[in-house]
Every structure is written in structure tokens, then in C-alpha cells.
Structure 1
């Protein structure tokens, strides 16, 4: 009986998530009356605004990933090596973006860095882009930090550091050529999650008035019928592609470790 209930719950969960997606996909293919077609997808993909906003979000995602790696990997490594007692506090700080809404964060940014402040970042395009990148990095911090920290748990950080130092390696060399290659799978997992977050984020980009993919989805949804459904399917596919890449990276990492 318990097995029947378990399978029933699993089936209900699958239907709960799958049926809306199937309905949305079917609607996105119904732009041509009486038959299914990819007209909505062609319209969306040919839209210059889609190309511009998607390219902008991809660039912002890559910059955010680079900044996140440079911030998180040394921090997690140093906490694990030298400051183990500070680990609960660091974990608490990295969890705050899950508790504090993005709209609160972005309003704080606007208040602190407006044109009348000491650092008027919102007064220029480059400054606003930099501010948005910091905001994206904040939103992705819980996932990036936990991915890297999980990777560091699987290796002997102290022994690797001592061995590298005995060969004359400096801290930058240790991080770049010893620690990072050993946690690369975890870093890539955090990077794919960051990419998915940046591509779909709306609040920060809209309030900072940046031409990102999330605000474009909202504007298109307010003015069109079939194209927003096609755009949602595309965004959903990008997110699941990132999840699939995480699974492939983790499987490849386990396979490589088993060979060793």
C-alpha cells in the first residue's frame, strides 16, 4: 500500500509540473489558426529586442560568474583552511540573499549609489551595469558558495596546501593550479545556476532600467499573446539545459575520480 501511495504522489507531482508546461507549449504552437506551427518562435527569435536583451543578459551572466568565482573560491578556501570557527557566520551571511527580497536589495543600491551620493554609480551606463552585476552576484551567492564549499569538503585542503607550499608555490598559484582544478566540477555547477538566475531575473534589471532578458519577457507578455508563451518555453529550456549540464558535470567528475 505504501508503494502505491508513493507512486501516486510521484505521478501527481509529475502531472502538476508537466501539464502547465504542455499546455503552454501547445498554446505557443497555435499562432497559425487550425494547425501547429513555429511562427511564434520565429517571430521572437527574429525580434531585434530579443537578440539585444538576450545577448546583454548572457554577457552579464558571464561577468557575474567570473566575479562570483573570484570572490567565493578564495573565501571558501580561506575559511576552510584558516578560519573554521567563522564558517557558521559565513554560511549565515551567504544565506541572507534567500531571506532578503531582491526588490529590497535593489532599492538599497539605488538609495546608496544614486547621483547625489559619494559613489554615483547610477549616473552612468557602466556604473549601473556594475551595480547590476553586484546584485546578480548577491542573488547567486548562496548557490555558488555552497557548490564550492561542497567541492572543498571532498579534498584534503590542508595537505594539498602544505604540499604546494613545500614546492615553493604562492597563494595565487595554490588557488589557481591546485585548489581550483580539484573543485572545478563544483564551480561549474555554481556557474550554471548563476547563469540560469541571471537569464530569468526581472526585478533588479527593471528597477535599474537595464535592457535585460527578464524585463523584455514582461514587456512582451503585456502586449502579445502567443510570443510570450514561446519565450517562456525558450527560457524554461535554457534553465533545464543548465540543470542538465550540472548533472553531466557531476557525473563526469565522479567518473574521473573513480578512474583515479
Structure 2
């Protein structure tokens, strides 16, 4: 009876999540009256605004991943090696982005870095891009930090560090050639999650007036019928592709370690 109830709950959950997706996909194929077609997808993919906004968000995602990795990997490594007592506080700080709404953060950015402040970042496109990237790093921090920290738990950080130091390696060499290869799976997992977050983010990009993919989805949804559904399916596919890549990288790494 318990097993039947468990399977019933799983099936009910799958149906609950699958039906809206199936309905949305089916609607996106009805742009041509009386038959199914990919016309809505063709219109979206051929739209110059889609190409511009998606390309912009991809570049911002790559910059966010790079900055986030450079921030998180040394921090998590140092906390685990030298400051284990500070770990609860660091974990608390990394959880704050889940508690503080993005709209509060972006209004704080606008208030602190407007054209009348000591650091007028919002006065130029480059400065605003930097602010947006910092906001994205903050939003991705809980996921990137925990992915890297999980990777560090699976290795003996102290022993690896002492062995590298005994061979004359400096801290940068230890991080780049010893620690990073051993936590690469965690870094890549955090990177794919960061990519999915940046691609779909709306609030910060809209309020900072940047040509990102999220605001484009909202504008398209307010003016079209079938194209927004097609765009939502595309965004959903991108997110699931990132999740699939995480699983693929994890399995490949485990298989490589098992062979080694």
C-alpha cells in the first residue's frame, strides 16, 4: 500500500508539471490556422531582438560564471582550510540572496551608483553592465558556493595543500592546478545553474534598462499570442539542457575517477 501511494504521488506530480508544458507547447504550434507548424519558433528565432538579447544574456552569463568562480573557489577553499569556525557565517551570507528580493538590491544599486554619486556607474552602458553582472553574481551565489563546497567535501583539502606546498607550489598554483581540477564538477554544476538563472532573470535587467533576454520575453508576451509560448518553450529547453549537462559532467567525472 505504501509503495502504491508513493508511485501514485510521483505520477500525480509528473502529470501536474507536465500538463501545463504540453499545453503550452501545443499552443505554440497553432500559429498556422488548422494545422500544427513551427511558424512561431521561426518568427522568434528570426527576430533581431531575440538574437541581440539572447547574445547579450549569454555574454553576461559567461562573465558572471567567471567572476563567481574567481570569488567562490578561493573563499570556499580558504574557509575549509584555515577558517572552519567561520563556515556557518559564510553559509549564512551566501543564503542572503534567497531572502533579499532582487528588486530591493537593484533599487539599492540605482540609489548608490546613480549619476550624482561618487561612483556614477549608471551613467554609462559599461558601468551599468558591471552593476548587472554583480547582481547576477549575487543571485547565483547560493548555488555556486554550495556546488563548490560540496566538491571540496569530497577531497582532503589539507593533505593536498600540504603536499603541493612541500613541492614548492604557491597559493595561486595550488588553487589553479590542485584544488580547481578536483572540484571542477562542482564548479561546472554551479556554472550551469548560473547560466540558467541569468538567461531567465527579469527584474534587475529591466530596472537597469539593459537589453537582456528576460525583458524581451516580457515585451513579447505583452504584444503577441503564439510567439511568447514558443519563446517560453525555448527558455525551458535551455534550462533543462543545463540540468542535463550537469548530470552528464557528473557521470563523466565519476567514470573517469573510477577508471583512474
Q: TM-score range by the shorter chain?
A: over 0.9
Q: Which residue of 2 aligns with 1:254?
A: 254
TM-score, reference length from structure 1: 0.99
1:51 equivalent in structure 2? 51
| 1:212 pairs with 2:228 | no
1:29-40 to 2 correspondences below 5 Å: 29-40=29-40
TM-score (norm 2): 0.99
CA shift at 1:183, angstroms? 0.4
The structural deviation recorded for 1:239 is: 0.2
**1:8: Cα distance to partner?**
1.0
1:177 maps to which residue? 177
What residue ranges of structure 2 are gaps of 5+ in the alignment? none
Deviation at 1:258, TM superposition (A): 1.6
Equivalent residue of 2:37, what SS? coil
RMSD: 0.5
Measure the CA separation in 1 of the matches of 2:89 and 2:137. Answer: 19
Separation of aligned partners in 1, 2:8 and 2:166: 58
Aligned pairs (5 A) from 1:65-104: 65-104=65-104
Question: 2:229 maps to what in 1?
Answer: 229
Identify the residue that residue 125 of structure 2 maps to in structure 1: 125
Unaligned runs of 5+ in 1: none
Q: Deviations over 1:39-92 (max 9, x none)?
A: 000000000000000000000000000000000000000000000000000000
Per the TM alignment, residue 122 of structure 1 is displaced from its structure 2 partner at its CA by 0.5
Deviation at 1:7, TM superposition (A): 1.1
Shift in Å at residue 25 of structure 1? 0.2
SS in 2 for 1:12: helix
Please state whether the residue corresponding to 1:168 is helix, strand or coil.
coil
Distance of 1:6 and 1:166 partners within structure 2: 54
Return the alpha-carbon distance in structure 2 between the equivalents of residues 143 and 34 of structure 1. Answer: 45
Deviations 1:88-113 (A, max 9, x none): 00000000000111111111111111
Give the ranges of 4+ consecutive aligned residues of structure 1 lying more than 6 Å apart after TM superposition. Answer: none
1:138 aligns with 2:145: no
Shift of 1:259: 1.8
SS in 2 for 1:221: helix
- Please list the CA deviations of residues 169-216 of structure 1 after superposition, one character each: whole Å capped at 9, or x if unmatched: 110000000000000011000000000000000000000000000000
Cα distance in 1 for partners of 2:120, 2:86 equals 33
Match of residue 105 from structure 1: 105
Shift of 1:252: 1.1
Distance in 1 (alpha carbons) for counterparts of 2:197 and 2:96: 16
